[in-house]
Structure 1
Amino acid sequence: MTKTFIYILIMCIVTYIPRVIPIVLMKREINSKFLKSFLYYVPFAVLGAMTFPAIIYSTNNIYTGIAGTLVAIILAYFNKGLMSVAVFSVLIVYILGFAI
């Protein structure tokens, strides 16, 4: 019981420090266009880096995952809606799953 409490306490400290450091260090508003742009796109980049491997390896066959991803990217490039992108990419994965 004591070890578990110590582990939880350490994890609280470790996750709290990165959240507090920017608040403590940054006393004024960020004026740099580059830094604002960088900080704006960081969440999107992290989300993409975390989900992209899961998308590729989500099926039993890597080729069907890649095909579904390519279909989704192409449809999204042509500004198709979220529902049609999801439906068509799943449909391609489903159809190729039988073919391969």
Structure 2
Amino acid sequence: MKSYLPLIIGMMAVTYLPRLIPLLIMTERPLHPLLRRFLLYIPYTALSVLIVRGIMQPASDMRLVTLAGISAAAIYSWFKGGLVFPVLLSIITAFILLHV
């Protein structure tokens, strides 16, 4: 294959179209409240799946740091919500505890 451009464009279309089509179809249709509530939990579920292994298996010398980071993120999430700031707070907490 002399050029990878058709392959890259094809992979881009195959990846992007399944995300775009439901968005275009569902923008004008009202969602059932139960389905809407279910969809609101997906970002939290995705984030927890990505980080749960690191939380469950910390290195033996990092258990307290891991616990402090999780606690800081959980407390912030409980009162303020969101995804980005609790993760950043957890990272900052772990960094400070490791370097102090």
> Scaled by the length of structure 1, what TM-score is found?
0.57
| Aligned-partner Cα distance in 2 for 1:16–1:86 | 31
Q: Are 1:90 and 2:95 counterparts?
A: yes
Within 5 Å, which residues of 2 pair with 1:1-100? 2-26=2-26, 27-30=28-31, 32-53=32-53, 62-79=59-76, 85-94=90-99
Gaps of 5+ in 1: 96-100
User: Residues 13-64 of structure 1: CA distance to partner in whole angstroms, max 9, x if unpaired?
Assistant: 112222223135435111x22211111121232233234446778xxx7234
RMSD: 3.7
User: Residues 44-92 of structure 1: CA distance to partner in whole angstroms, max 9, x if unpaired?
Assistant: 32233234446778xxx72344432211122344449968754442344
Higher RCO (CA < 8 A, seq sep 6+): 2
Change (3 A) 1:14 1:84: closer
Amino acid at match of 1:23: L
Change (3 A) 1:25 1:54: same
